[in-house]
């Protein structure tokens, strides 16, 4: 206990706190910029940590990671430009709120649920790592395939008004995810049409920059009005927001749980967590219809979930020595560069470091909450800027974002193409979010299914038996079935309603 | 008020841009007199990236100019190699080339956009290899011979995880030489492969040697390392060649390369600098902390191994064209 106390004292020194706050602010900025995301932010500041002590360096990077979890929602809510997939669901609910003059309110929900989610994820990591890692190891290819299918089933919740257009969008996303070198075989190319540039595949970032940011800016530039929001802004306090969030405690708790579990699973991340918990929030809500028009549950769920995934993604890193997400992979690298081997041994050989990291991450959440709450009045002023300034600025940052993921000019071209395609889709009323969902989940679904095929053949059983006849699979299958059933029901219901209206 | 801020933003952007342009104008002074870019064909945080960052940090101190890692991930390093081959031949663009991946790509795909001859191979500082690790409670015994025997008796029943094309080639080579049939399952990255091994979802994994020690703590046994000879960090683990199977040498060496035509002066300077900074005990200690085996090679000794590997990989690819040759 003395040991913990000593760490607490050493953590509360001005330099550490300033570095964490700096990291969090960079994280919020990076998260808010279309195309930039956690891995890029952490990689950018990685060289800065060489001159710091490992504790300070790592906590600064942790601050960036935590900050990006919230930052994405700023541009998602205010400009309908979610940085990457993480804030796609937040945009669905947050932007309609912003258009009603309630942007500030939406941002408060976002920062508060992000902070609560972040805390839950970290506390789960601190207290339950040994247990959680046992759960994670139970997830083989069959279970991962079902998790991916659960994610895809969520598409029913983000279809928009027309199911056929929504299904077209998700199918397009899946198709885009298939382009390029077949990751499960050597030297097999798919859908490249002879273009060398397509061989490495189409990554998520240029696609999301194009479909979200560029499309939105092009649409905005055709807007007659000088401003994004024409209605008067409504004032809102952080305490009112807190009260409203705690009224939705059940959604919050569920989303934190989903976020933590998804975060632990290898190869997943905040984006999948936020999609699944958004889908679950919509499924369990009494009034499905208010989703898509600014339902606050639709902000609380994805935002708490994606920050809860951060704590989750550290679990395999600390317990097994393998990173759980793209961002934690770079932090893993940072530890190695400082001569520390992440994994169970860290607690024996560098216990001080390990516990400082765990407790310090809690500080990053507190710093994020403070920076976010103080920053929101400032962020929400973005809506007062004339669109003639916003459009070019966001477009420039979008190009930088598209380029920086792979430092590749081709990605900028891809983003521009997707941007124009997106404008056309908007005219045709094809929803964008399902495309991104398809791109995120396509590879995970396919690869795990193909792993199941090989494993089932090796064990001499039918692949259907292999996937479904497992204890965890049964739970997941029920979950998937319930999501699909509810979506189907609400679709039929919606159809009937429109029919009645027409009559 | 806001347009004023906007002006500031625009000016800021212009200043940054002009600084970037200024940095691009090279003078004729002694090499190096400006920032050196160091390409890494993998994401930040991975093994290649960590090695590059450790190395460039030391090179910076010695050269007195900054040396920046630029990540160009994609297609197992081929994006980075292609761009490097086409970049300015002034000595300010260098990169890591992972030999095994590159040679596999070269032999499976006729048209990568560049040729091996388009690059200048300066030197290499490491060799890393893979381990064959069996899961806890694997019924097929405790030694590599037991494993082969079990696999022979149960054709197609042993699930073997791997995470790279080089490892896929090794499995193919091992199947052929040992007369066994395995069920290979590919994972994204060694971490996921390791996860599957611990969870018992696969029976055996071909995986970086760095996982050997931590796997042992979880009850997994390392049967062999997949190189010609034993390695220093795992002296008690036999090398695959000791069992008489002449499989492809699965060692991975990261070679520092530059575009062909880079001035000899710059190449010599880089080679000497790398040799000097990596020869220190402090640097080698860092290397062993990230489970890399230090070995400096340049010139003939570097190319000899490189060409030998190329021949071995070519033989495997040619003998299994439908499995390995590129198709659209």
Angle at A33 between CA A32 and CA A34, to 5 degrees: 110
Number of Cβ atoms within 10 Å of the Cβ of A234: 12
DSSP calls for A384-397:
GS-HHHHHHHHHHH
A323/B43 CB distance under 8 A: no
- What value does the mean pLDDT take over residues A314-329? 85
- Does residue B91 have a pLDDT over 50? yes
Q: Which is nearest to A326 in space by CA: B233, B11, B45, B127?
A: B45
What residues of chain B, 141 to 180, have a C-beta less than 8 Å from chain A?
156-159, 165, 168-169
Q: Which of B79, B113, B195 sits opposite A322 (nearest CB)?
A: B195
- Does residue B161 have a pLDDT over 60? yes
Is the CA virtual torsion A462, A466, A471, A473 positive or negative? negative
Name the closest residue on chain A to residue B110, using Cα atoms: A187
- What value does the mean pLDDT take over residues A167-195? 87
Q: How far is A73 from chain B (nearest CA, A)?
A: 22
- What value does the mean pLDDT take over residues A378-401? 91
Name the closest residue on chain A to residue B9, using Cα atoms: A393
- What integer pLDDT is reported at residue A178 of this predicted model? 93
Q: What whole-number percentage of chain A has pLDDT above 70?
A: 97
* Of A16-20, A153-157, B67-71, B323-327, the least confident: B323-327
- B105/B208 Cα distance (integer angstroms): 20
Query: Residue for token digits 């095994």?
Result: B100
- What value does the mean pLDDT take over residues A300-308? 96
Cis peptide before A100 (omega within 30 of 0): no
SS3 A235: coil
Name the closest residue on chain B to residue A453, using Cα atoms: B185
Q: Which of A136, A186, A331 sits opposite B324 (nearest CB)?
A: A186
Which of B72, B93, B195 should one mutate to test binding to chain A, selecting the residue with the greatest count of A CBs within 10 A? Answer: B195
Say how many Å lie between the first and final Cα of chain A, rounded: 71
More confident residue, A196 or B135: B135
Name the closest residue on chain A to residue B196, using Cα atoms: A140
Element (H, E) at B38: strand B36-40
- A270-284 and A297-319 helices cross at what angle (nearest 10)? 140
Query: Residue for token digits 């601190």?
Result: A126
Q: What whole-number percentage of chain B has pLDDT above 70?
A: 91
3-state secondary structure A43-75: HHHHHHHHHCCHHHHHHHHHHHHHHHHHHHHHH
pLDDT in tens, B268-300: 999 999 999 999 999 998 888 888 889 999 989
- What integer pLDDT is reported at residue B19 of this predicted model? 55
For the CA atoms of chain A, what is the radius of gyration?
A: 22
Asked whether B135 and B202 are in contact (CB, 8 A), the reply is yes
- What value does the mean pLDDT take over residues A155-164? 78
- A231/A225 Cα distance (integer angstroms): 12
Q: Which is nearest to A334 in space by CA: A50, A141, A35?
A: A50
Q: Which of A200, A316, A339 sits opposite B79 (nearest CB)?
A: A200
Mean pLDDT of chain B: 87
Q: Which of B186, B190, B198 sits opposite A137 (nearest CB)?
A: B198
Mean pLDDT of chain A: 89
Domain B35-128+252-324 in this protein, CATH class: alpha beta
Q: Which is nearest to A265 in space by CA: A472, A44, A487?
A: A472
- Fill in the DSSP letter of residue B26: -
Tell me the CA distances in angstroms from A32 to A87, B71, B128, one per residue in order.
Answer: 10, 22, 39
Most trustworthy range by pLDDT among A193-197, B10-14, B125-129:
B125-129
Q: How far is A193 from chain B (nearest CA, A)?
A: 8
Which of A336, A344, A347 should one mutate to test binding to chain B, selecting the residue with the greatest count of B CBs within 10 A? Answer: A336
- Encoding tokens for residue B56? 């460039």
* Of A300-314, A410-424, B73-87, B193-207, the least confident: B73-87
Select the CATH number that applies to the domain covering B130-243 from these four: 3.90.950.10, 3.40.50.1100, 3.40.190.10, 3.50.50.60: 3.40.190.10
* Of A225-234, A353-362, A388-397, the least confident: A225-234
How many CB pairs lie under 8 A apart between chains A and B?
Answer: 157
- What integer pLDDT is reported at residue B26 of this predicted model? 45
Asked whether A296 and A93 are in contact (CB, 8 A), the reply is yes
Asked whether A154 and A438 are in contact (CB, 8 A), the reply is no
In B90-242, where do the E strands start and end? 93-98, 119-127, 130-134, 159-162, 183-186, 204-208, 221-225
Q: Kindly tell me the burial class for residue A482, based on how many C-beta atoms sit within 10 Å of its own C-beta (0-12, 13-18, 19 or more).
A: middle
Measured between beta carbons, the chain A residues lying within 8 angstroms of B46 are 329, 333
Domain locations along chain B: 35-128+252-324, 130-243
List, as own/partner pairs, every contact residues A49-53 make where C-beta atoms lie below 8 angstroms and the sequence separation is at least 24, other chains included. Answer: A49/A334, A49/A338, A50/A337, A50/B57, A52/A19
Phi then psi dihedrals of residue A57, to 5 deg? -60, -45
Element (H, E) at A457: helix A433-459
- Does residue A502 have a pLDDT over 60? no
Q: Which of A266, A407, A458 sits opposite B70 (nearest CB)?
A: A407
pLDDT in tens, A190-219: 898 888 788 888 989 999 999 999 999 999
Q: How far is A317 from chain B (nearest CA, A)?
A: 10
Beta strand A180-181 with B183-186: parallel, antiparallel or unpaired?
A: unpaired
Domain locations along chain A: 2-502
- What integer pLDDT is reported at residue A398 of this predicted model? 92
Query: Residue for token digits 């040679």?
Result: B103
A114: number of CA atoms within 13 Å, CB side?
34
Query: Residue for token digits 């095929």?
Result: A453
Q: Which residues of B243-260 are buried (b: 16+ CB within 10 A; e: fewer)?
A: bebebbbbbbbbbbbbbe
Asked whether A458 and B159 are in contact (CB, 8 A), the reply is yes
How far is it between the farthest Cα atoms of chain B? 80
Asked whether B144 and B223 are in contact (CB, 8 A), the reply is yes
Q: What whole-number percentage of chain A has pLDDT above 90?
A: 56
pLDDT-based confidence at residue B11 (cuts at 50, 70, 90): low
More confident residue, A81 or A156: A81
Asked whether B32 and B63 are in contact (CB, 8 A), the reply is yes
- What integer pLDDT is reported at residue B5 of this predicted model? 59
Measured between beta carbons, the chain A residues lying within 8 angstroms of B195 are 136-137, 266, 316, 320, 322
Q: What's the residue count for chain A? A: 503
- A70/A306 Cα distance (integer angstroms): 9
- A216/B214 Cα distance (integer angstroms): 48
* Of A14-28, A245-259, A351-365, B71-85, the least confident: B71-85
pLDDT in tens, A16-61: 999 999 999 999 999 998 888 888 889 888 888 888 888 899 999 9
pLDDT-based confidence at residue A498 (cuts at 50, 70, 90): low
Beta strand B93-98 with B221-225: parallel, antiparallel or unpaired?
A: unpaired
> Bridge-partner residues for B208, per DSSP?
B130
Q: What is the pTM of this model?
A: 0.88
pLDDT-based confidence at residue A337 (cuts at 50, 70, 90): confident
- Does residue A442 have a pLDDT over 50? yes
A458/B156 CB distance under 8 A: yes
- What integer pLDDT is reported at residue A284 of this predicted model? 86
């Amino acid at each position: 206990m003395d040991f913990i106390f000593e760490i607490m004292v050493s953590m509360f020194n001005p330099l550490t706190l300033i570095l964490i706050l700096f990291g969090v602010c960079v994280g919020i900025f990076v998260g808010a910029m279309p195309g930039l995301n956690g891995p890029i932010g952490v990689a950018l500041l990685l060289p800065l940590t060489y001159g710091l002590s490992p504790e300070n360096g790592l906590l600064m990077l942790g601050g960036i990671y935590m900050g990006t979890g919230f930052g994405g929602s700023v541009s998602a809510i205010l400009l309908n430009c979610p940085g990457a997939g993480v804030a796609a669901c937040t945009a669905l609910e947050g932007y309609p709120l912003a258009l009603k003059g309630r942007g500030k309110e939406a941002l408060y929900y976002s920062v508060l649920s992000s902070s609560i989610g972040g805390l839950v994820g970290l506390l789960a990591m601190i207290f339950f790592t040994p247990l959680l890692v046992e759960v994670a190891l139970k997830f083989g290819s069959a279970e991962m395939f079902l998790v991916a299918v659960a994610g895809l089933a969520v598409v029913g919740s983000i279809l928009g008004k027309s199911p056929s257009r929504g299904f077209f969008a998700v199918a397009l996303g899946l198709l885009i995810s298939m382009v390029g070198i077949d990751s499960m075989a050597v030297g097999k190319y798919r859908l490249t049409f002879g273009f060398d540039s397509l061989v490495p595949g189409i990554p998520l970032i240029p696609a999301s920059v194009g479909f979200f940011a560029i499309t939105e800016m092009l649409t905005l530039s055709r807007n007659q009005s000088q401003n994004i929001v024409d209605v008067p802004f409504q004032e809102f306090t952080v305490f009112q927001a807190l009260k409203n969030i705690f009224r939705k405690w059940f959604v919050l708790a569920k989303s934190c749980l989903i976020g933590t579990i998804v975060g632990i699973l290898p190869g997943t991340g905040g984006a999948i967590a936020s999609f699944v918990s958004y889908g679950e929030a919509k499924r369990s809500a009494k009034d499905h219809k208010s989703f898509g028009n600014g339902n606050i549950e639709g902000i609380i769920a994805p935002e708490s979930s994606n920050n809860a995934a951060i704590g989750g993604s550290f679990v395999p890193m600390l317990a097994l020595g393998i990173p759980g997400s793209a961002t934690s992979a770079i932090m893993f690298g940072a530890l190695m560069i400082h001569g520390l081997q992440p994994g169970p041994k860290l607690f024996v050989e560098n216990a001080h470091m390990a516990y400082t990291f765990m407790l310090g991450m809690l500080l990053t959440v507190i710093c994020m909450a403070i920076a976010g709450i103080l920053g929101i009045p400032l962020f929400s002023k973005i809506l007062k800027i004339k669109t003639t300034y916003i459009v070019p600025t966001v477009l420039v940052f979008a190009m930088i974002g598209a380029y920086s993921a792979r430092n590749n000019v081709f990605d900028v071209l891809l983003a521009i193409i997707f941007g124009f395609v997106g404008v056309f889709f908007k005219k045709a009323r094809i929803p964008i979010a399902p495309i991104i969902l398809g791109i995120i989940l396509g590879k995970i679904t396919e690869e795990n299914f193909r792993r199941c095929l090989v494993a089932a053949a090796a064990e001499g059983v039918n692949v259907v038996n292999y996937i479904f006849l497992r204890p965890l699979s049964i739970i997941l299958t029920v979950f998937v079935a319930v999501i699909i059933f509810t979506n189907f029901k609400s679709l039929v219901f919606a159809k009937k309603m429109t029919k009645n209206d027409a009559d | 008020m806001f347009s004023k801020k906007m002006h500031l933003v625009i000016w800021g952007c212009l200043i940054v841009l002009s600084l970037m342009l200024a940095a691009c104008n090279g003078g004729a002074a002694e090499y190096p007199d400006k920032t050196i870019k160091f390409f890494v064909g993998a994401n930040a945080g991975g093994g290649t990236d960590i090695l590059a960052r450790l190395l460039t940090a030391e090179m910076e101190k010695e050269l007195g100019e900054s040396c920046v890692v630029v990540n160009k991930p994609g297609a197992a390093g081929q994006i980075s190699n292609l761009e490097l081959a086409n970049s300015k031949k002034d000595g300010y663009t260098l990169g890591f080339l992972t030999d095994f991946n590159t040679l596999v790509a070269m032999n499976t795909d006729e048209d990568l956009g560049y040729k091996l001859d388009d690059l200048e191979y300066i030197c290499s500082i490491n060799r890393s290899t893979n381990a064959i690790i069996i899961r806890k409670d694997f019924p097929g015994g405790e030694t590599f011979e037991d494993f082969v025997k079990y696999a022979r008796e149960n054709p197609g029943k042993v699930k073997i995880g791997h995470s790279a094309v080089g490892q896929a080639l090794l499995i193919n080579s091992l199947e052929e030489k040992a007369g066994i049939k395995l069920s290979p399952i590919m994972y994204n990255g060694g971490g996921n492969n390791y996860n599957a091994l611990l969870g018992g979802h696969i029976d055996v994994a071909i995986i970086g040697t760095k996982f050997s020690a931590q796997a042992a703590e979880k009850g997994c046994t390392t049967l062999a390392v997949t190189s010609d000879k034993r390695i220093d960090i795992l002296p008690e683990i036999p090398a695959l060649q000791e069992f008489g199977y002449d499989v492809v040498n699965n060692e991975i060496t990261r070679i520092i390369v530059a575009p062909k035509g880079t001035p000899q002066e710059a190449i010599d300077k880089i080679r000497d600098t790398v040799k000097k900074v990596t020869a220190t005990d402090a640097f080698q200690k860092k290397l062993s902390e990230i489970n890399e085996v230090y070995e400096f090679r340049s010139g003939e000794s570097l190319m000899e191994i490189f060409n030998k590997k190329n021949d071995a990989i070519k033989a495997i690819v040619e003998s299994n064209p439908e499995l390995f040759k590129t198709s659209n």
